[in-house]
Amino acid sequence: MPAPDILLLRPMQASVMEALEAAFALHRLDTATDPSARLAEIGPRIRGLAVNAHAPVDRALMERLPNLEIVSSFGVGYDTIDAREAGRRGVIVTNTPDVLSDEVADLALGLLLATVRQIPQADRHLREGRWPQGSFPLTATLRGRTVGILGLGRIGRAIARRLEGFGVAIAYHGRRRQEDVPYAYHPTLLALARAVHLLMVVAPGGPETSGIVDAAVLDALGPDGILINVARGSLVDEAALIAALQAGTIHGAGLDVFANEPHVPEALSALGHTVLLPHVGSGSVHTRAAMGQLVVENLVSWFSGKGPVTPVAETPWSGRT
């Protein structure tokens, strides 16, 4: 029996592409001279997609892949995939949860500390030879502060567990109260922002959460407030954030994600109380290898008749073949 045809939209890690080539008939759209013509040629044969977090999979693409069975996505977020449309068509969508939760949580705590204590700014103060002329200014603190978490999913819980060791109060907002955690629950994001000093954004991206951290939320966070975002840039109204930072409406921000990656507004880079990272939340050799392996495992498991390993909520696996 011939190997199933798999389409790769954009390049992925070499180890992932090698594993896919070994198990399937792999087609790469990123190397095609005319991607549209190539898609017209091979589209009817494609049964699986391997995609990274920034490769859009929408209705138009699915219509060109009439025999598509599964989309295996690299990353925990899958807001660039129309999972509801996939579910309507009977297409399974998988992501790579759990294997990156601890890595992202570690990075989130590092970004939080770097922003509160201005660690990059202090590093520059020393490197630029300014220490002999004066000590680095005193910074904000975690002492006596409450940290609010927007989105208490796998990563949010991993962050909360780490925060417990810092002796800070923890609160959260999500779609529902979670009875098995000891943290204070707030039924609205605005109420959470009013109650905390630092707001950690870890909720999923997508239309439902687009721009939910808006001017009103930032105003509620207040002049001592700090925003940390390790989720998706789409959750934060970037223009409102820039205005709030410039006006002193909030104290600072630590961002690993942006609205139009990899392009970052110059206004954000110019601000002194920001720490900006190039979307590196899961960016360790160890974790990216585990994520890539799960992309391959989902495809191998599916085409061996065992079903997907990590299907997303919109396309649950019922055991059908």
At 105-119, the pLDDT tens digits run 999 999 999 999 999
Q: What's the pLDDT tens digit per position in 32-87?
A: 999 999 999 999 999 999 998 778 999 999 999 999 999 999 999 999 999 999 99
Q: Is the pLDDT of residue 321 over 70?
A: no
By the 8 A CB rule, do 218 and 226 touch? no
Q: What's the pLDDT tens digit per position in 126-171?
A: 999 999 999 999 999 999 999 999 999 999 999 999 999 999 999 9
Q: Which domains does the chain have, with CATH numbers?
A: 5-99+286-303 (3.40.50.720), 101-276 (3.40.50.720)
CA–CA distance, 319 with 307 (Å, rounded to integer): 7
Report which of 36, 50, 14 is spatially closest to residue 295, judged by C-alpha positions.
50
Report which of 120, 116, 109, 167 is spatially closest to residue 139, judged by C-alpha positions.
116
DSSP, res 311:
B
The structure's pTM equals 0.92
- Positions annotated as catalytic residues are 232, 261, 279
